[in-house]
Amino acid sequence: MPIQYYIYFCLALFSIGVVGVLTRRNAIIVFMCIELMLNAVNLLLVAFSKMYNGLAVQNGVANTAGIDAQIFVFFIMVVAAAEVSIGLAIIVMMYRNTHSIDINFLNRLKN
Amino acid sequence: MNAIIVSTLLGVIMMFCSWGIKSQQVQKNIALIGLFILIIANLAQSSGWYVVDYDTKGMLTYSIFGLYANTLLFALTFIYVWINGEEIAKINNTSADFYSLFFFILCGISVLTSFDNLLMLFLGIEILSIPLYILTGADKKNMFSNEAALKYFLMGSFSTGILLLGITFIYGATGSFHLTAPVVSISTGFAQEQILLSTGLILLFAAMNFKVSAAPFHFWTPDVYDGAPTVFTSFMATIAKAAGFIAFINVFNTQYKALGYSWTLLLTFVILSTLLVGNIIAVFQRSVKRMLAYSSIAQAGFMLFALYGKSEISNESILLYAVVYSIATIGIFAVLVKMKENSFEAFNGLGKAHPLLAFATTVFLFSLAGIPLTGGFFAKYYMLSALLKAGAGLWLVLVAVVFAAISIYYYFKIIQAMYFTAGVPAINPLPNQYKYQLLTLAILLLVLGVFPNLLLNYLYF
């Protein structure tokens, strides 16, 4: 399959994530949309990695080409997990004080 | 390498201190000793002594600029902890937790000053940001702190997503995460590499702008700075931000060339809108803390000038600017922390009640505004001369000077309240030692205002 298909598919996933962050009101769902954005990026990285690997094999160069992108994916997953732990802690802290996880709560500081 | 290893170890040690040692004063002293060790370890690396001599396969490179930036930022953290230790202790009954977070942030900073690979850029930014989310929400019972933390967290991870998409596009176009990779080495079978590369760089640029709070990506800054506990706002607005700028320079001095002419256009737009938004909105603020948040946006506009062209003087100017701005901002926040409220009226009559404190505050504000004889003047002067050397138009320099003049208005509102408005200042009782600490900072600024080379000469050893 041409790489363009992967690019368009990942961009679509990423855009769904962005739209979700901008429109949803529930903190947990906003959070899930951010995860969706990160996973779209992961998918694209793997696709690019395979593309470069395939090209290198075709040209008879070393077949480890493109491996750094796959390692990057693992780093993104680990960092995303660390972020989730902090994010959920913050949401729980807010829930204890306000008994709600609505983002509309976030406009007190404006005035 | 030394700084990364030692700061992580010290962070872990501080974490254990929080249940081994009960006295806040001892915890603060341990943190200060740790910071001192960190500075020594980093200086040792500059002279060729390594804790672990490890080949990072081009992930990290150590330049004199990066190492010296490390030293300066660690020294600023030392000053910050030395002055604000007692205030940090008031937020929670174990301040060692916060100190360990500071050490982890410093680890992120030392990655950001030395990365040579976009993976390390991503890791550095995350190591820097994740502890900052926690520090923002440190005041657990305070609704404003909660709100600021959630907002900062959601916006921060959103911008991380954008950063990652940018990095992925750059990888897709070049086949490498290295900063200095040759553009498009092998034919990839699809023709849009150039579009992919430009889009990737623009997304990366947007995400980095977000991290250093430049307009039009500044909207989170006032709310987060306002809601976070004042001591931690002081840290976020100074040391963390300066590290963001050094990372920004590291990426874009090597990568932006792919964008060519449009890069200058984009950067000019961002700088002008940052200066405009920061300075104009700051004029209308009634809370000093919020005014300082906008002023930090405006100062970010000035620091972005260092990106305009790569030269010796732009490296010098970003270091001088970061240090001078950080000292002045740490000082003014240290005064604000002792105020009972954040309004301008709280400062009324401070000149009569605490002449020493008022003098120090005046020096900080002069320096932020860029009045001669304080460090801020030379910082702005170096920045603008770097700009001219990079071949920018004279009109840009004139616009910058006009905005610096506008900033005098809102900084001087505090000075006017202190000296020319009668009243009783709403200030908590101050220990004498605290006044002398702030006076030391003010003297440091005055010395840098006369001999800026004291700071810059070390770049060439």
**Sequence-separated contacts (24+) of B37-40 with Cβ below 8 Å:** B37/B6, B37/B10, B38/B3, B38/B6, B38/B7, B38/B10, B38/B74, B38/B103, B38/B106, B39/B71, B39/B74, B39/B75, B39/B78
Q: Residue B122: name the closest of B150, B154, B73, B159 by CA.
A: B159
Beta bridge partners of B60: B115
pLDDT tens figures, B296-346:
999 999 999 888 866 778 888 899 999 999 999 999 999 999 988 888 888
Q: Which of A65, A82, A86 sits opposite B153 (nearest CB)?
A: A86
Structure confidence by residue, pLDDT tens digits, B5-60? 999 999 999 999 888 888 888 999 999 999 999 999 999 988 887 777 778 888 88
Of B119, B149, B164, the CB nearest to A38: B164
* Cβ–Cβ below 8 Å for B126 and A83: yes
Backbone angles phi, psi at B59, to 5 degrees: -75, -40
pLDDT of residue B256: 67
Set of chain B residues whose Cβ sits within 8 Å of the Cβ of A103: 154
Higher pLDDT, B253 or B361: B361
Greater confidence (B58 vs B414) lies with: B414
Amino acid at A108: R
> What is the ipTM metric for this complex?
0.95
Helix (H, G, I), strand (E, B) or coil at A26: strand
What are the start-end ranges of the E strands in B241-385?
A: none
Percent helix, strand and coil across chain B, each rounded to 5?
75, 0, 20
Q: How large a percentage of chain A has pLDDT more than 70?
A: 94
- Decide which of A108 and B454 is more confident: B454
Residue among A55, A69, A83 whose CB faces B188 most closely? A55
Strand partners, B44: none
- pLDDT digit string, tens, across residues B177-196: 888 755 544 455 555 777 88
Which residue of chain A has the CA closest to B59? A68
Query: How far is it, in rounded angstroms, from Cα B301 to Cα B270?
Result: 8
Question: Which residue type, as a one-letter code, is found at position B247?
Answer: A
Both structure tokens of B421: 């408005």
Instruction: Report the DSSP beta bridge partners of residue B343.
Output: B287
Instruction: Judge whether residue B259 has pLDDT over 70.
Output: no
pLDDT tens digits, B91-100: 887 889 999 9
Structure tokens at B64: 């004199």
What structural domains and CATH numbers belong to chain A? Answer: 3-101 (1.10.287.3510)
Give the torsion sign (CA, B345, B351, B353, B358).
positive
Q: Residue B227, SS3? A: helix
Verify whether the Cβ–Cβ distance A72 to B176 is below 8 Å.
Answer: no
Please tell me the predicted confidence (pLDDT) of residue B186.
47
pLDDT band (50, 70, 90) for residue B419: very high
**Mean predicted lDDT score pLDDT of chain B:** 89
Helix (H), strand (E), coil (C) string for B69-131: HHHHHHHHHHHHHHHHHHHHHHHCCCHHHHHHHHHHHHHHHHHHCCECEHHHHHHHHHHHHHH
